[in-house]
Structure 1
Amino acid sequence: MRSICFILLVVVFATDTHAGDQPRIDSLMNEAISRNLIAGGVVVIGNRDRILFEKPYGRISPFPDAPPMAVSTIFDIASLTKVTATTPSVLKLAEEGRISLLDPVVKWFPEFAGKGKDAILVMNLLTHTSGLDDIPLSSANPMQSAVEGAAAQKLKGEVGHRFRYADLNFILLAELVRRATGAPLDLFAQVSFYRPLGMVDTSFHPRETGRCSGTISDERVLFGEPQDYLCRQLGGVAGHAGLFTTAGDLARFCRMMLAGGVLDGKRVLAQRTVDQMTAPYFSRGGLVVRGLGWDISSPFSAPRGQGFSRVSFGHTGYSGSSIWIDPVSDTFVILLTSRLEYKKVHDFNKLRGDLSTLASQIFGIPPELGEMARFNDE
């Protein structure tokens, strides 16, 4: 009886709040377009069971004759690649016992032997606590230069304690996936996640570039080509960037995460793996909290906004993308944009945070109701 009352209470709450407050999201997005922060974007909000809000805004690029944005528009999601391709792939391998998160990185990269890198573990790459910094890559052999450059550089700070967000960590993780499986990251992620989850528009090399939102790189507008230069050097498939997807496909991934690794009866990760992926790992004396790949509380946590719980998690992408997921309120919010302004970082982060704040207010179950959901009938 208690669970039935809880469900009824949530339904009444949702019905009363959704309809009247949705124009606030419209105003937020339209203001961002009018201020030239973005040419357009797509917002999707949902929970583990369904989509609650889904709407496109503006156009796919800054060109005056650009087509209008659509829910089906394909986006370069930049660093969201880290948490929707690389992290789940590494955790899948750990779940299957093919690697361990406590493996010394030198086990998979013998190039590191004798270079003072013995303390770096796979989990340090996932949490950006390896002590490695980003480096330029050689166009002649970019992956080899990434590995050799990582091996040669002097570590900054103590491994496991210094948090330094670096794409190099995830470039190495993608190569680890290849060395552990014999398959490149794009193929492994496609077979392990995107096909089973029905993410039909998710890939590293989009087939329909005419559906792609534009990104800006070196004063060029790119469609279907990664904005990230290092990713382009690596052939468009990299652990830190390069994945293209739609808001609808990302919503399926978020629903899988909220449901503990399963969607529509198809399990792609064990519940314990999702729990491990999103458990807090502390660095900088507890000032930075990260999951494995995922952000929880750090200088990059703007999309959490005000209202999501302390155990919520997400990530951002330089191209103008972000996701945030709160298991307590059973809510996720996705923002994908055709970003125009890259210097106004504060303004763009405010857009991300304000959207999540609205999402938590309008669609999220209040924390006290979330706590009620933990109780069973007695």
Structure 2
Amino acid sequence: MSASTPIIAPDHVAKAYCIPFESPLARGLFWRFFKQQTPGVAVYILRTIVILFLFSHSSLLFASDELLDSGRTLTIDFLLEQAISRNLIAGGVVVVGKHDTVLYSVARGRLSHAPDAPPLDERTIFDVASLTKVLATTPAVMKLLEEGQITLMDPLTRWFPEFSGSGREDITILNLLTHTSGLNDIEIAGAEPLASAISEVATQKKWYPPGKRFHYADINFILLGELVHRVSGVGLDEFCREHIYIPLNTQETMFLPPNNLSGNIAPTLSTHNELSSGTVQDTNSRHLGGVAGHAGLFSSAADITRFARMILNNGILAGQSIFSEHIVTQMTAPYFYSNGKVVRGLGWDINSPFSAPKGSYFSDMSFGHTGYSGASLWIDPQRDLFVVLLTTRLDYQNTKMFNRLRHDISSLAVAAFWNKSRGEVVTENGSPPEPLMP
């Protein structure tokens, strides 16, 4: 299977996307009838329903005339092309894989809308925004935990005496990792931005008791990034490079990419609506010098693929142990529940309002994260699958449509490569998956 081979959705994807029945009973009766038909009649029925569904859902990313083209039905590459044509993104890269190989890889579009912009590929470097939290900060904190230098229940005041006497002594490292500290985000500025930020957060008048509710806030991971510095004695960037990225043999994962790489870095929109390559998009991260626990990391689809495979291999890749199996399990296990609507691991999202990349078919054991710049990663140890999505996002206003893109790509990927009946990963022709990337 080549990297450009379209993924054709099997019948259970068509069922999920194309049947305009809201009632489970109606869907069940229809599918009982549908499965009794001859293949020719079944195809005719399904094509008719697709057309009706598309006419009644004009905001769907799919276009009816393209859907009916031979070999172009419900493909991941087509989703990317439609997102490009709607100016949602300038381009995107998707990788689907399992613990030991890449199952599918596709790149569409260019670094920007400029006609002479180079095309994207799996080595294109992206500002991954909040994926920094799970590709850098969380792994760094877990490495300190593995080495016994910290515990999850360490009070924040052990490492941040600035919080002593603030009434926030009950906040723990666990609270920071699960976004349950109760702290609120702030705008960072000043001659000493980090010191000013810590002082301001320690004296916030409005905050929530720790451990009581999920409140996503970058400040939690800004503090965790500084925690890595205070415990290890080196910056977050240096710590991650030495303990994670070099052992993992990544090539394009770094903070503060040098200028000579700017031609291979996907640009992002600045606060002045200007394109910028190689400078972190997040304003607070920029004010902190570009190295921060919440944002600032740059990476490629190829590198994130290696990270995802390492996680699915219980901390090992190519014979190199990055983490113990216990630490991987601990990092990705659920630690916080809120009325069944929010489930969080250590740094990782399991189920929350931010879980669009979970799609419809990833299991309840899956986990991942998103990035404002257009990045997402979702990993499922039960399915032995992961999906990487990196895009040059253009439209930051249409969040609903962008989350739909994330959701649909994951849904199609899992449906195409996960055989529910046999409980295994499959290829389209049933043969063993062909590696596409190291």
Q: CA RMSD in A?
A: 1.7
Structure 1 spans left out of the alignment, 5+ residues: 1-16, 372-378
Q: Percent identity?
A: 54
Q: CA deviation at 1:154?
A: 3.3
Is the 2:268–2:276 contact (alpha carbons within 8 Å) kept by the matching residues of 1?
A: yes
Among candidates 269, 282, 286, match of residue 216 of structure 1: 269
Secondary structure of 2:343's aligned partner: strand
Are residues 1:363 and 2:417 paired?
A: yes
- Give the alignment's TM-score, normalised by structure 2: 0.79
Alpha-carbon distance in structure 2 between the residues aligned to 1:248 and 1:163: 32
Among candidates 237, 240, 257, match of residue 186 of structure 1: 237
Is the 2:96–2:388 contact (alpha carbons within 8 Å) kept by the matching residues of 1?
A: yes
The C-alpha deviation readout for 1:309-332, integer Å capped at 9, x for no partner, is: 001000000000000001111000
**Which residue in the other structure is 2:430 paired with?**
none
Alpha-carbon distance in structure 1 between the residues aligned to 2:396 and 2:184: 22
Are residues 1:153 and 2:204 paired?
A: yes
Structural mapping, 1:100-249, within 5 Å: 100-154=151-205, 156-207=207-258, 208-218=261-271, 219-249=273-303
Is the 2:8–2:416 contact (alpha carbons within 8 Å) kept by the matching residues of 1?
A: no
Among candidates 65, 72, 88, match of residue 139 of structure 2: 88
Secondary structure of 1:123's aligned partner: helix
Is the 2:228–2:236 contact (alpha carbons within 8 Å) kept by the matching residues of 1?
A: yes
Q: CA deviation at 1:235?
A: 0.6
Is the 2:6–2:77 contact (alpha carbons within 8 Å) kept by the matching residues of 1?
A: no
**Which residue in the other structure is 2:98 paired with?**
47
The C-alpha deviation readout for 1:181-240, integer Å capped at 9, x for no partner, is: 100000000011100111111100223111001111220101011010111101110000
Q: Which of the two has higher C-alpha Rg?
A: 2
Is the 1:146–1:172 contact (alpha carbons within 8 Å) kept by the matching residues of 2?
A: no
**Which residue in the other structure is 1:334 paired with?**
388
Alpha-carbon distance in structure 2 between the residues aligned to 1:270 and 1:75: 29
**Which residue in the other structure is 1:374 paired with?**
none
**Which residue in the other structure is 2:361 paired with?**
307
Q: Aligned partner of 2:363: which letter?
A: S
Are residues 1:59 and 2:115 paired?
A: no
Is the 2:357–2:377 contact (alpha carbons within 8 Å) kept by the matching residues of 1?
A: yes
Alpha-carbon distance in structure 1 between the residues aligned to 2:296 and 2:304: 15
Is the 1:18–1:362 contact (alpha carbons within 8 Å) kept by the matching residues of 2?
A: no
Q: Aligned partner of 1:161: which letter?
A: K
**Which residue in the other structure is 2:25 paired with?**
none
Is the 1:59–1:69 contact (alpha carbons within 8 Å) kept by the matching residues of 2?
A: yes
The C-alpha deviation readout for 1:290-309, integer Å capped at 9, x for no partner, is: 01000000000000001110
Is the 1:328–1:367 contact (alpha carbons within 8 Å) kept by the matching residues of 2?
A: no
Q: CA deviation at 1:20?
A: 4.5
Alpha-carbon distance in structure 1 between the residues aligned to 2:224 and 2:178: 12
Alpha-carbon distance in structure 1 between the residues aligned to 2:222 and 2:176: 10
- Give the alignment's TM-score, normalised by structure 1: 0.91
Does 1 or 2 have the higher relative contact order (CA < 8 Å, sep 6+)?
1
More displaced stretch, 264-273 vs 65-74? 65-74
Is the 1:160–1:283 contact (alpha carbons within 8 Å) kept by the matching residues of 2?
A: no
**Which residue in the other structure is 1:344 paired with?**
398
Are residues 1:264 and 2:318 paired?
A: yes
**Which residue in the other structure is 1:319 paired with?**
373
